[in-house]
Amino acid sequence: MIMKKEDLQALLNDMSLEEKIMQLVQLPGQTFEETAAVTGLADMEKAKKMKSLAGSVLGLHGADKIKAIQKEYMENHPHHIPLMFMLDVIHGHDTVFPCPLAQGATFDPEVARVGAQVQAKEAAADGVQVTFSPMADLVRDARWGRVVESTGEDPYLNGLMTAAMVKGYQGDSIADKEHVAACVKHFAAYGAAEAGRDYNTCEISEHTLRDQYLQGYRLPISEGARLVMTSFNTLNGIPSSGNKWLMRDVLRDEMGFDGVLISDWAAIAEMVNWGFAQDLKEAAALAMDAGVDIDMCTESYSGSLEALIKEGRVSEALLDKAVMRVLELKNDLGLFEDPYHGASEERYKEITLSKDSREKARDAVRKSLVLLENKEGTLPLSSKKIALIGPYVDDKDTHSAWAITCNKENNITLRQAFEEEFAGSDVEVKYSNGSLMVDNDSDLGFLKFHSDTFREDNDRLMKEALEIADECDTIIMCLGESLMQSGESTSRAKITLPQVQLELFGKVKEKGKKLITLIFTGRPLDLGDIPEVSDALLICWRPGTESGHGIVDVLTGKTSPQGKLPMSFPWTVGQEPLYYNRFNTGRPKPFEGASIFTSRYLDCPNEARYPFGFGLTYSEFEISEVKLDKTSITRGSSASDKAIASVEIKNTGAYAATQTVQLYIRDMAGSVVRPIKELKGFKKVSLGPGENSQVSFEITEEMLKFWTASNRFESEAGKFKVFIGLDSATENEAEFELV
């Protein structure tokens, strides 16, 4: 049964100093599977001792394997305390949902909750107890590869989506065998890495940190996430793992987080590289002082805490508080009652990749696809002779680099889905890869792609593609980043498609056929002339297991696309970082007329090519002017004093479709400069041809609060504009006051 607080305290009091310290040490899974050399530990004897006492392990899955490790560990542990098993279950375990950025494109927290629930069920049966997800980092720079793990550039949307993920992972109780504990990461502001370069520094004012970057973490933490992970970056010169103000004052005191704080991989030791700590011993002292409970995969705590405590530089009382948080997490997971947390090879085989899970993943794909262009109703498909051309025609790497347990053989490719869809019909479909995935000598992080026969192989593929293009009247180009071109340590100074794919596209467009382009990506891209040349353009993201099925459902019109961009797409990489909720500047560029001596580029628009919130359906919609039931709200009055903003939306097209109506607010003047727009609400509306509906939003004083010049989260009296439209560029507005 679940242990009582007094039982945990008694256990803690009876533990040796070494046992307590080792509860704060996490080892990589290789330690339990291979030689110590793999882990970087000094010698086999040290590894053996650490294995016998370490409090947690990451990177392992497999019910039988984990049960065997747990059984041996507990038999040998002086107090028979169970290990915790943690793993990066980011957007799928076996059934892989669209990547988090794609989930952001759904503008549907329920999609995120359901996806996390499926992932938790599969992972828990496979032996996992804690997932390092969700990532709540606000992302504004497409050069940063880890945008694929975020739900986008808006704090409000991020908070809703990540809170839903926490609910899906944890359910009503993390002791339940179908759920796992969630870890919100990376605290804090990792998405602001300078120049979009991973592991880099962040320089952000406290106001911007509080008003923008911290907002996305607040909701998932308030939802009850049991862990938080420190970020790799420095924040204004202080590494997060040693930032006492950030972790104790902000995270624990202000946000009320009382769970386990874990470092990212080796982040405590990296304080030495940063020049913030002289050695691992000082790094350990700084991390303990900041409140970091678990040291992930270094010897900072295991090698230094005992000496630090004996020297009086770290109090044993501080250690005890950290250990108690770890023990409480293990207790709440039910590990003292069932150290395997329900892990079962039989149950895992029964539930994994179930028909129900696949259908939920397929639905998520359908809802995440973003239609950027659809000239003259090119989609849905109506052609009888179709050519699928490009490296993603039959590529099974449709997940992301962060679906680390994915067996790609379970992924449904476009070719598979097309063959299923049109089997026995009068539609003729031909297929060709057309090119290799990446350019020769491309750096893909863990490997460098090189082929001595690159040009020969590529020329052969292109020749084959051009031949089938001649035989068809509609060409579907299936292009995108490689699996390894987005994710951790994949920062890119150029965010275009690989040159070899652009060459293929250039040759195919010369055929003059109807051209539909699908883009598989983990980030916004500079798309060059693809939008102008394509008759239809669909962003597919990293769609996961049911990629082919979900995409074909949309292409054939079984469902209309409804995704909205969670990040702005630029004209060129030189615009990055790029985000809709920017400041106006003192010299804003006018929409018309002379723009010299204004804030502008000489060679590029200021605005995004495709803004946040943009996405087409197969139908057309009209929205009326914004109507307000009142033009003022009284500051400090009861919560019932609110304004209602409404529009009428009508489906004027020929297809049933779902639109996402979006509410933005602008504070016209404040004690600090305010963004030109901020998302404050959205509602999905499904309408048939000719149907209309009223959509209303409540506007309360709470929605108007921000971090003021007084460094308080509060409202200020003044004038506001409310915008209601179909993306962040809408100018459909009305005015009201907070008095």
Quote the pLDDT of residue 378: 98
Same domain, 379 and 323: no
Is pLDDT of 209 > 90? yes
Read off the pLDDT band of 46 (50, 70, 90): confident
Instruction: Look at the block and give the residue holding tokens 């990293």.
Output: 542
Cβ-based neighbours of 481, under 8 Å, separated by 6 or more: 497, 498, 520, 521, 522, 523, 525
276 is a domain residue: yes
Q: Does pLDDT of 600 surpass 60? A: yes
* pLDDT band for position 41 (cuts 50, 70, 90): low
454 and 341 belong to one structural domain: no
Whether 330 and 414 share a structural domain: no
Region 255-284: what's the mean pLDDT?
A: 98
Please tell me whether residues 570 and 635 are part of one structural domain.
Answer: no
Q: For the range 210-213, what are the long-range contacts, defined as Cβ-Cβ under 8 Å and sequence gap of 24 or more?
A: 210/707, 210/711, 210/713, 211/672, 211/706, 211/707, 212/138, 212/155, 212/581, 213/137, 213/138, 213/155, 213/188, 213/189
Q: 247-263 burial, b for 16+ CB within 10 Å, e for fewer?
A: beebbbeebebebbbbb
Residue where a domain terminates, one of 520, 541, 575: 575
Tell me: do 226 and 159 sit in the same domain.
yes
Whether residue 640 sits in one domain with residue 555: no
For the segment 70-83, the average pLDDT, to the nearest whole number, is 97
Domain contains 608: no
Question: Any idea which residues carry the catalytic annotation?
Answer: 264
- What's the rounded mean pLDDT across residues 80-101? 98
Residue range 96-111: mean pLDDT, rounded:
98
Give long-range contacts, CB 8 A cutoff, 24+ apart: 507-513: 507/462, 507/465, 507/466, 508/389, 508/434, 508/465, 508/466, 508/469, 508/475, 508/477, 509/533, 511/466, 511/469, 511/470, 511/475, 513/387, 513/469, 513/472, 513/473, 513/474, 513/475
pLDDT for 1: 64
Burial 654-673 (b: 16+ CB within 10 A, else e): ebbbbbbbbbbbbbeeeebe
Answer yes or no: is pLDDT of 86 > 90.
Answer: yes
Per-residue pLDDT at 39: 47
Question: Is residue 382 situated within a structural domain?
Answer: yes
Per-residue pLDDT tens digits for 110-157: 999 999 999 999 999 999 999 999 999 999 999 999 999 999 999 999
Q: Examine residue 188 and say whether the peptide bond preceding it is cis (omega within 30 degrees of 0).
A: yes
Instruction: Please give the average per-residue pLDDT across 590-606, as a whole number.
Output: 90
Round the CA-based radius of gyration of the chain to a whole number and report it.
27
With vertex at residue 117, the alpha carbon angle to CA 116 and CA 120, rounded to the nearest 5 degrees, is: 85
Q: Quick check: is 599 in a domain?
A: no
Looking at every residue in the chain, the average pLDDT score rounds to 96
pLDDT at residue 45, rounded to an integer: 66
Is 586 among the domain residues?
no
CA distance 186 to 252: 15
Looking up residue 466, the CATH number of its domain turns out to be 3.40.50.1700
Q: Answer whether residue 44 shows pLDDT above 70.
A: no
Same domain, 160 and 307: yes
Residue 37 scores a pLDDT above 60: no
Distance between CA atoms of residues 40 and 37, nearest Å: 5
Indicate whether 616 belongs to any domain.
no
State pLDDT tens for residues 281-301: 999 999 999 999 999 999 999
Instruction: Answer yes or no: do 336 and 404 share one domain.
Output: no
At 629-686, the pLDDT tens digits run 999 999 987 778 999 999 999 999 999 999 999 999 999 999 999 999 999 999 999 9
Please indicate, yes or no, whether residues 504 and 450 belong to a single structural domain of this protein: yes
Neighbour tally for 354: CB within 10 Å: 15
| pLDDT score of 40 more than 80 | no
What is d(CA 417, CA 396) in angstroms, rounded to the nearest whole number?
12
Residue 613 included in any domain: no
Amino acid 732 reads N
pLDDT of residue 43: 57
Does residue 38 surpass a pLDDT of 80? no
Global model pTM greater than 0.85: yes
Q: What is the CATH number of the domain that holds 120?
A: 3.20.20.300
Residue 334 pLDDT > 50:
yes
Is residue 439 located within the same domain as residue 343?
A: no
Domain assignment present for 603: no
Q: Which helix (H) or strand (E) holds 698?
A: strand 692-699
Same domain, 22 and 165: yes
pLDDT at 447: 85
* Six token digits for residue 43: 């010698």
pLDDT for 594: 81
pLDDT of residue 18: 96
**Structural domain boundaries enclosing 467:** 374-575
> What tens digit of pLDDT does each residue of 504-544 get?
999 999 999 999 999 999 999 999 999 999 999 999 999 99
User: How many folded domains does the chain comprise?
Assistant: 3
Q: What CATH number has the domain bearing residue 668? A: 2.60.40.10
Which pLDDT tens digit goes with each residue over 678-730? 999 999 999 999 999 999 999 999 999 999 999 999 999 999 999 999 999 99
Is residue 404 within 8 Å of residue 96, measured between CB atoms? Answer: no
- Same structural domain for residues 336 and 394? no
Positive or negative: CA dihedral 266, 272, 277, 281: positive
Amino acid, res. 500: V
pLDDT at 48: 72
